[in-house]
Structure formats: structure tokens, C-alpha cells
Chains A and B, each alone.
Chain A
Amino acid sequence: MFEDLRDLYQEVILDHGRKPRHGRKLEIFDATAKGDNPMCGDRVTVFVRSNQGKVTEIGFEARGCAISIASADLMAEAAFGHTPDEITEMAKSFAAMAHTGHSDDPALETLRPLAGVHEYPSRVKCATLPWAALQAALADNGNQGVATSE
């Protein structure tokens, strides 16, 4: 019945949405920020640990749909080892991919399963929320800002 939805709900998304590997608060972290989409009610808090200017671990606490949780979890893996500047570029590329459905940025390889959201305008913000929160966390070195993707 839902075969055409497999573009959006690919197995990797269902899997990370169901069992996120990084879905927990870090015991020690250098930066954190919340992402909040008040219109739909999705919320995510991102915790970042860095070493020598590079992200070494990301954890998150989220309530939201499969897309937003899978996106947060895949983001935690993709951002590993990158500098804040690189992450800003990745976030831009990711947002572009979420809106257009394609990207030739090799850094987004593991995030490509999320490209399917572009066909669902009301769901693009689900995928981009964790990235907005991560950027807020990195922007002000450990601030407590609240970001949104609505």
C-alpha cells in the first residue's frame, strides 16, 4: 500500500528512527542547544563534545517523528570529526538536499536517505531541525539557544 513512501521512509530511516544510536544526553559536553518546532511540537536537545576544534561526540534527546529522530541520529554520525565551520557547510548542503532532493556533496553520503523529504514540503523541517540545533550549539560555544527550522 505504501510502496511510494519507501523513498521517504527508507529502511535506514525506519531503523535509526526506531533505535537511535546517539539518542542520549552526554555525561560530559562542551556545548548544547535546543531545537524547537512549536507548530508541530517536535523538540530536540543536542549535546556536543569537542576536542582540539573537532566534534568528537554528539548525543541528543528528542521527541518527534521518525524523520526528525533518524535525521538527528545520522547527523550525529556525519558530524563526527568535523570542525564547526565544516558542520556549517554540511548543514547548508543538507538543507539544500532536503529541499531539492539531491546533493553532490560527498560529506552528505550517509545522509542521502533523507533526501526523500523534499517531496513532502511539510516534513522538510523535521529533517532540518537537528541541524538547526547543532548549529546553535556550535555557534556560541556552549550557549543555551533555541533554534527552529519552521
Chain B
Amino acid sequence: MNAMTKPAFDIARIRADFPILSEKIRGKDFVFLDSGASAQKPLVVMEAMLHAMQHQYANVHRGLHWMSERTTEAYEAVRDDLARLLNAADRHEIVITHSSTEAFNLVAHSFGRGVLKPGQAVVVSEMEHHANLVPWQMLKDAHGIELRIAPITDAGELDMAGLEALLQDRKVGLVSITHMSNVLGTYTPAERIVQLAHAYGAKVMLDGSQAVVHRRIDVQALDVDFYAITGHKLYGPTGIGALYAKRELLEQMPPFMGGGDMIGSVTYQHSTWAAVPHKFEAGTPAILEGIGLAAAIKYVEAIGYPAIASHEQALTEHALARLSTIEGITIIGRAQDRGGVISFTLDRAHAHDVATLLDRQGIAVRAGHHCAEPLMHRLGLDSTARASFGLYTTMGEIDALADTLIRVREFFQ
């Protein structure tokens, strides 16, 4: 330790910010290792939403009264927070959605049908969440867009040569790939993907649902065209997410859903569209959730990505080391650059049985195909158990998982 060292990452203080973490499950400590599915919420998020409901709530963007104006200010502030979070050059490049799933559907609809031409292709990888696969399948069927699947290696890394081979004929209009796998924990080399795709004339969309929770994202440095995130994995509420998109692309794209809030003027037969980004935001938005997400973003920023990343890297290394030594456990995915999402199988028991036994000790993990069924087939598996970490996860919780897994295996002998 030297005088320049920043104050230590105070895990006890952080955990105190998350009331649910002190709950007991059947009398046992709640060991929550399922943050990759949805993270727990700090008090500041709840307080921001409660405060809005108690003191500052009306519909946004339309009222001429005091309460509506104040609520609009509070809600629109999340767009600034999102722009800062992702380092977008312009707040108009942030479309507020209800989820990253909506962001993919928006791009598949508006960019896919409005900008891509039949005969062009979209590339996804073998390790995508269904949210970054199914919308492209629907586009393929409706609009004659070819869907190409970029291979991964057996270690669970994107096969860059395989990706480049798919781009050679220059038919690919969009490469849409995860920035961090929700199953394997792999970070993909986003900068290289963007450079490669752009060299072949393709735009790039990244699924940042997992990555933005753990690493500082800079969409300008990445030069990425579309970036999708969701709020509830980032310690915010459900029902709120965002799409970053370069402004020139948003300008070219037709609206996604029609309704209030996204129009310029409306007659019985025709409408004109609101300016970017509002033309992609039909209907009353998730106002309270937006206010909650703004609080979550500030919470994460106050702790700081460097501190979060180093804590989570230590957790991940410890977890990989401990789980690797347990007989019968196979860790799925061995990427060099990886984060705190660890899938594994146990030789003697199905993942669901493992999850049920862990749950009896208060340990929450996910088990199943993790909304990535084709990846499971690619790996020759039908399900895995998955432990995923958040900024509040402790070394002790990882030890509890490892110690309990040894007992689970004994149980099924």
C-alpha cells in the first residue's frame, strides 16, 4: 500500500446499500449469484422512484403544468446520464427503450426493414442471447435478409477469421454480436469487430446487456453503430433500457412503433414524425423506471468502473480457481478475456438438480439454457448451472458456492 492508493473497495458498505442482501432464505444467508439474470437494487434507486411518486409525478412531454414540466426534466435527465455512461457524443443518440430486447427489435425493424435491402445479410455469433437472434430470424422471414452465424472457438471466443470469412462477399449490412456472453462470460473484442466490419462496409450492433454492468463503455472510442443495454441488470428497475445509435443512422431509419409522443403532427390519414430520438419512443415512456435508472447509473459511477472491474476480476479469478479444483465440475467457456459469469456442469447431476440443492442452502444460481439454446447445442449441452456476480458479491459467497458444490456431488454419488 502506498499513499497514492485509492480507498479500498468497501464491500460491507456497498452491501449495506442493497437491503435485500440481508434477507434470509429458509434461515440461511441469501447468497445471490444470479446477477447476470437481473441485479438487485440499491436503496438510492428505490428512493428516487418513491420520491418521484410522492413529490414529482405527472405524464411527460405534453403537460403545460408545473408537475409535468418537472417530471419531464427528471425523466429526460436519464438520457443525459445514459449518454455520459456510454460516452455518446450527443444525447439525441440515446433512444430510451423498455429493454435491450426492444432495442434489438427496434433495429431489426427500423434499420432492418428501412435501410437494409433484401439480399443483404445480418451476422450474429454462435453465442447470442435469443434477444439478439430471434428478431433477425423474423427479419429474415419478412424481408428476405440472409442470416449468417459467426463461429466461436471451443474455448468460447469469437472466431475472428470465421467472422471475416462471412464478410468477404460484402453482402453483410450489419454485424450484431454480444459484447459479453451471458453464458460463457466471454468479452468479445469489440474494437476489432467494429474495425473489421466497417472495412467490409457493414454496420455493427453490440449487445451490452452484460458488459455495461462490469466495464466502462465508450461508444465513440469503439466507433460502434448501435449499442443496446438494459437497466435491470445495471442495478436499475425492470422495464427500462436504451439503444445508442449514431445520429445519421437514426435519421435514416423509419419509426418502430406508432403512437403518441413519436409524432410531429397527425391527420386522419397521415402523420409526420417527431425528431430523433423521440420518433422511436411511442407512447408514455417508463417514467418512474427512467428516474430509477438515472439513480442506478449515478450509483455505479460513484463507485467507479475501475473499482468495480478490479473487485469482479478478483472474484472471477477466485471462483475459477476454486471451481476448477472440484472433482466432476466442468467450467464451460475458457476465454482469455472474461468476466464474472461462470457456467458449469457437474458430472453426477443435472443443472436443475444442482440449482435445487444450492437453493436449499440459500444459494441462488441460474440453471437451464440461459436464453441461448443454439449455443447449448453448439457446446453439446442441454443446460448448465451459472453463477454470475455483481459489485456486491463477496469472496465468502464464492467459497460458499464451492463448498456446497462439493456436498452436492456427494449427495448424488
Chain A residues at the B interface, C-beta cutoff of 8 Å: 1-2, 4-5, 8-9, 14, 18, 39-43, 63-67, 120, 123, 126
Q: Which residue of B lies closest to A120 (CB)?
A: B356
Q: How far is the CA of A40 from the CA of B353 in the complex (A)?
A: 12
Are B352's CB and A65's CB within 8 A? Answer: yes
What is the CA–CA distance of A64 and B353 in the complex, to the nearest angstrom? 9
Q: Give the contacts of B386-401 with A (CB-CB under 8 A).
A: none
B353 close to A66 (CB less than 8 A): yes
> Are A64 and B407 in contact, with the CB atoms below 8 A?
no
Contact between A5 and B360, CB atoms less than 8 A apart: yes
Segment with Cβ contacts to A, from B315-323, B335-343, B368-376? B368-376
A65 to B369, CA, bound (A): 13
Most B CB contacts (10 A, CB to CB) among A40, A63, A65 go to: A65
A71 to chain B, nearest CB (A): 13
Given A4-B360, A5-B357, A5-B360: A126 in contact with B404 (beta carbons within 8 A): no
Task: Assess A1 versus B353: contact at CB under 8 Å? Given A14-B412, A41-B373, A41-B382.
Answer: no
A14-B349 Cα distance, complex, nearest whole Å: 10
Bound Cα distance A58, B62 (Å): 65
The smallest C-beta distance from A23 to any residue of chain B, in angstroms, reads 14
Q: Is the CB of B352 within 8 A of A1?
A: no
Pair B356/A123 contact, Cβ less than 8 Å: yes
Interface string of B326-345 (1 = CB under 8 A from A): 00000000000000000000
Q: Which residues from chain B sit less than 8 Å from chain A, CB to CB?
A: 349-353, 356-357, 360-361, 367-369, 373, 376, 382-383, 404, 407-408, 411-412
Known: A2-B407, A65-B353. A41 touches B376 (CB 8 A): yes
Give the Cβ gap from A35 to chain B, nearest Cβ, in Å.
Answer: 14
The dominant DSSP class at the B interface is helix
A8 touches B356 (CB 8 A): yes
* Contact in complex: A66, B404 (CB < 8 Å): no
Given known contacts A65-B352, A123-B356, what 20 new A-B pairs fall within 8 Å (CB)? A1-B404, A2-B357, A2-B360, A2-B408, A4-B360, A8-B356, A14-B412, A18-B412, A39-B368, A40-B368, A41-B369, A41-B383, A42-B352, A63-B382, A64-B350, A65-B349, A65-B353, A66-B412, A123-B352, A126-B352
Q: Considering the chains assembled together, what is the distance between the CA atoms of A65 and B408 in angstroms?
A: 14
**Are the C-beta atoms of B349 and A1 separated by less than 8 Å?**
no
Min CB–CB distance B131 → chain A (angstroms):
15
B376 — which chain A residues lie within 8 A by C-beta? 41
Nearest 4 interchain pairs by C-beta = A65-B352, A65-B350, A41-B369, A1-B407
Q: How far is the CA of A123 from the CA of B411 in the complex (A)?
A: 18
* Docked pose: A2 CA to B382 CA in angstroms: 25
Least CB separation from B349: chain A residue = A66
Separation in Å of the A56 CB from the closest CB of chain B? 30
Contact B350 A1 (CB under 8 A): no
Task: Report the Cα distance A43→B350, complex, angstroms.
Answer: 13
Closest chain B CB from A63 CB (angstroms): 5
Measured in the bound complex, the distance between the Cα atoms of B352 and A126 in whole Å is 10
B residues less than 8 Å from A1 (CB atoms) = 361, 404, 407, 411
Which of chain B's residues have a CB closer than 8 A to the CB of A4?
Answer: 360
CB of B26 to closest CB in A, whole Å: 8
- What would be 11 A-B contacts, judged by CB atoms less than 8 Å apart? A1-B411, A2-B407, A4-B360, A5-B357, A41-B383, A64-B350, A65-B353, A67-B353, A120-B356, A123-B352, A126-B352
CA distance A18 to B352 in the complex (A): 14
Which residue of A is nearest B407, CB measured?
A1
